[in-house]
Amino acid sequence: MTKPVTHPEPVEPARGSLPLQLRHRPRRLRRTPGIRALVRETRLSPEMFIYPLFVCTGEGQRREVPSMPGVFQLSVDEAVREAEGARAEGISGVLLFGLPDQKDAIGSSAYDAEAPVQTAVRALKREVPGLVVVTDVCLCEYTSHGHCGIVVEDQIVNDASVEQLVRAALSHAAAGADIVAPSDMMDGRVGSIRDALDDAGATEVGIMSYAVKYASAFYGPFRDAAGSTPTFGDRRSHQMDPANVLEAMREVELDIEEGADIVLVKPAITCLDVIARVKAEFGLPTAAYHVSGEYAMLKAAARNGWIDEPRAMLETLTAIRRAGADIIISYYAREAARVLA
């Protein structure tokens, strides 16, 4: 037999009792919105955001990604409109992913000057002054098998893949990209891309390397958006084991040696410790990618009425910033910019 639960008698608040003799009362600084604003340690501003865009062929195309409400596959003209909106809201840059019409085993449309990303770069540089244009450099959106490199006997071969990535980076630079962002996790690609850019006279084009990219379950919705789900196997032979952090430090060190200007950690929310360590140890401009699955989780919960979306969004982005990210890449960039305005 369980005993019935008994509730204690409600205690009358003590009236007229002497205040405790407390020298420190942290609540003093939480008392009013004004005081809280004065002592706030972490601030968010749209300037630190990069907004990812998925660019497809055609005109007037705007196809919502089912697993990412509010995110669209956009033709170049629509991508320009979206980027203009982002710029007007104070967002610094966009990160472009391409949806080519043609895919093949070696991802050759990754370096087609007329493909969606290259066309979008030219249009954005022409039509959205001041916008920082960053391009994703990877083969997974361009290969018929969906892998990030060239596959030989079911293995993703490193060095031949790097040659293809270099071609992609050069074509983005030729189109006018400000920064190329290799996300493939092949070894030595940052150095090879830096050398090739310099040889081509593109010494001003920066490299934001995905130095620490974990093999994560949170990229699922992105693969819907980018049509880049591998047809066999997974990405564990090149993306990192989420259990490792010392290895992350070595990856960052290598990419800096090879010439990375900005280092990126991805995903963000499951890697706040990694972001903090990378920033503290290397001090380089550090970016964090709040990825598709992290966005989709908040969207799904919000749509079910289970969380207050604007608050959850700002709390999430603030946590990424507090961990040490200088740059936040997020599908929420525009929504957050509007809330912050």
Q: Which residues are catalytic?
A: 213, 266
CB of 1 to ligand PBG, least distance (A): 54
Tokens 């200088």 correspond to: 326
* Cβ-based burial of 33 (10 A; exposed 0-12, middle 13-18, buried ≥19): exposed
What is the distance between the alpha carbons of residues 114 and 254, in angstroms, rounded to a whole number? 33
Whose Cβ is closer to ligand PBG: residue 98's or residue 206's?
98
Tokens of 238: 């090149």
What is the distance between the alpha carbons of residues 130 and 31, in angstroms, rounded to a whole number? 40
CB of 222 to ligand PBG, least distance (A): 3
Segment interacting with ligand PBG (CB under 6 A) among 74-82, 168-176, 222-230, 311-319: 222-230
What is the distance between the alpha carbons of residues 63 and 73, in angstroms, rounded to a whole number? 5
Of positions 138, 168, 173, 268, contacts ligand PBG by CB under 6 A: 138
Q: How far are the Cα atoms of 71, 123, 151, 235, 317 from residue 169, in angstroms, in the given order?
A: 25, 18, 20, 21, 29
Is residue 223 part of the contact set for ligand PBG (CB under 6 A)?
yes
Is residue 49 part of the contact set for ligand PBG (CB under 6 A)?
no
Do the beta carbons of residue 313 and residue 298 sit within 8 Å?
A: yes
| Binding characters for ligand PBG, 278-297, by CB under 6 A (x = yes) | -------------xx-----
CB of 138 to ligand PBG, least distance (A): 4
The kind and range of the H/E element at 240 are none
Segment interacting with ligand PBG (CB under 6 A) among 4-12, 56-64, 98-106, 132-140: 132-140
CB of 215 to ligand PBG, least distance (A): 8
* Cβ-based burial of 21 (10 A; exposed 0-12, middle 13-18, buried ≥19): exposed
Whose Cβ is closer to ligand PBG: residue 241's or residue 308's?
241
Task: Tell me 102's DSSP state.
Answer: -
CB of 249 to ligand PBG, least distance (A): 21
Is residue 111 part of the contact set for ligand PBG (CB under 6 A)?
no
Of positions 135, 164, 183, 316, contacts ligand PBG by CB under 6 A: 183
Is residue 219 part of the contact set for ligand PBG (CB under 6 A)?
yes
Of positions 82, 89, 136, 251, contacts ligand PBG by CB under 6 A: 136
Q: How far are the Cα atoms of 28, 54, 103, 171, 323 from residue 226, in angstroms, in the given order?
A: 50, 7, 12, 20, 29
Is residue 161 part of the contact set for ligand PBG (CB under 6 A)?
no
What is the distance between the alpha carbons of residues 202 and 73, in angstroms, rounded to a whole number? 29
Of positions 56, 76, 86, 140, contacts ligand PBG by CB under 6 A: 140
Whose Cβ is closer to ligand PBG: residue 206's or residue 210's?
210
Do the beta carbons of residue 270 and residue 216 sit within 8 Å?
A: yes
Tokens of 335: 């929504």
Residues within the interface to ligand PBG (CB under 6 A): 136, 138, 140, 148, 183-184, 219, 222-223, 228, 235, 291-292
